[in-house]
Amino acid sequence: MNHIDDEMLESKPVKAKKAKRKKPRIWLVSFWVCFSLLFLMVIVAVSGLYYVWNQLSPTKAGAPIEVTITKGMSANSVSKLLEENGIIKNSFIFGYYLVLKDEGANFQAGKYKLNPGMDKAEVIAKLNAGDVIAEETVTFTIPEGYSVEQIADKLSAEGLGDREKFIALANEDRSWSGAETVLLLPNKLENVKYRLEGYLFPDTYEFVKGISEEEMIIRLLREQDRKLATLPEDWVDQLDVLGLTMHELLTIASLIEREVVVDEERPIVAGVIYNRLAKPMRLQIDATIQYALGKQKDVLSYEDTELDSPYNTYQIDGLPPGPIANPSLESIKAALYPDEHNYFYYVTKKDGTQTHLFAETFSQHERNIEKSKQATQ
């Protein structure tokens, strides 16, 4: 039994030991994870760069488009406007590009002609340079000595503006953008026909076609500022010497403008005005009556000199309430720097020279009137 048992024991199969399964190494797993993430990041970065490059690349070429950039417009607003008009693809990215390149702050306002398909650098250069569309202009001349009504009539006749609107604006009590001299108007103006009379500088202007009446007035007011800046440096001090306000100076200049044609005589007539004011003596200037009448008359009647008007210098003492016309720079200079003499009278020569005969006394003046009449015979 033991023998059999031993054989039986010997023939019983022996179980093999199960091999242990090796675990993957952690560093290898980490490597592949990191590699995958890095690869993904590169893909994302490249895709992002490509997207940015694509969004900054030119749009599809097309016909020129007019784009208007208004004054004070921010770079972001300009970017949005460019995108809306198909000049750039993405205003958000273009805006950041401008910040990166320190651009956008010098963009000029105006109307531009831009083409879809333009390179971004070309667009930026055009906006920086203010390379705007040359607008159609019209020339308008205001003769020296024209009144507000005469300017309005001329504008209307030439189809450049509405007469009534221009006149209404010229009488508004308000400030005018960028105009300085007009700010010196007295706070209380009584009996003036038009507030801006005397402040609209007579000259030849080039206006953009379609300009508004308000824009015209601002241009005329600013032009007067520029012309006054060309006067001698002491001209403001000279106002104090004369004891005049700016409004009074322009009033005297307007009287000179309407009375004198020859420049050399402007300071002489200015001296007559100052002599009469100092005496005191009524100015008795015919041009003030014509202004009050609203029309030009070759010869004034006695009834005209009796006209009840604050502008009638035959009836009032001193100066009228304001200018009767818009004076030239020569008349303003004459009002600032009058000739010193003893003349109190003058009469126009009838010989076609448009010059005057001057007198110190009324009897001399009467003789000059006779001389003037004889020149026509």
Rounded to whole angstroms, the Cα distance separating 213 from 217 reads 6
Q: Is the domain of 202 the same as that of 274? A: no
Q: Is the domain of 284 the same as that of 333? A: yes
- Which structural domain, as residue segments, surrounds residue 356? 342-377
- In a domain, residue 329? The reply is yes
Q: Is the domain of 214 the same as that of 243? A: no
Rounded to whole angstroms, the Cα distance separating 192 from 155 reads 22
Q: Is the domain of 203 the same as that of 297? A: no
- In a domain, residue 30? The reply is no
Q: Is the domain of 90 the same as that of 166? A: no
Q: Is the domain of 220 the same as that of 259? A: no
- In a domain, residue 36? The reply is no
- In a domain, residue 189? The reply is yes
With 0.85 as the threshold, say if the pTM is over it.
no
CA angle 146, 268, 300 (to 5 degrees): 50
DSSP 162-229: -HHHHHHHTT--S--TT--GGGGS-SS--S-S-TTTTTS--SEEEEETT--HHHHHHHHHHHHHHHHT
Are the C-beta atoms of residues 290 and 268 closer than 8 Å to each other?
A: no
How many Å separate Cα 11 from the centre of its chain?
A: 118
Please name every residue paired with 66 in a beta bridge, in sequence order, or none if there are none. 113
Please name every residue paired with 140 in a beta bridge, in sequence order, or none if there are none. 205
Q: Is the domain of 146 the same as that of 208? A: yes
Q: Is the domain of 169 the same as that of 222? A: yes
Are the C-beta atoms of residues 137 and 208 closer than 8 Å to each other?
A: yes
Q: Is the domain of 250 the same as that of 222? A: no
Last residue of a domain, one of 228, 247, 276: 228
Q: Is the domain of 160 the same as that of 77? A: no
Last residue of a domain, one of 171, 202, 228: 228
Q: In this structure, what CATH number is given to the domain that contains residue 352?
A: 3.30.160
- In a domain, residue 53? The reply is no
Domain count across the chain = 4
- In a domain, residue 262? The reply is yes
- In a domain, residue 54? The reply is no
- Say which residues have a Cβ less than 8 Å from residue 262's Cβ, sequence separation at least 6: 353, 354, 355
Per-residue pLDDT of the chain (377 residues), as tens digits, is 444 444 444 445 555 555 555 555 676 667 666 767 777 777 776 666 677 677 878 888 889 989 999 988 998 999 999 989 998 889 888 888 888 889 988 999 988 999 998 898 999 999 999 888 877 889 999 999 999 999 999 999 999 999 999 999 999 999 998 899 999 999 888 899 999 999 999 999 999 888 999 999 999 999 999 999 999 999 999 999 999 999 999 999 999 999 999 999 999 999 999 999 999 999 999 999 999 998 888 888 889 999 999 999 999 999 999 999 999 999 999 999 999 999 999 999 988 899 999 999 999 999 999 988 876 65
Last residue of a domain, one of 228, 243, 270: 228
Q: Is the domain of 72 the same as that of 112? A: yes
- In a domain, residue 81? The reply is yes
For 207, list phi and psi in degrees, rounded to 5. Answer: -100, 145
Q: In this structure, what CATH number is given to the domain that contains residue 78?
A: 3.30.1490.480
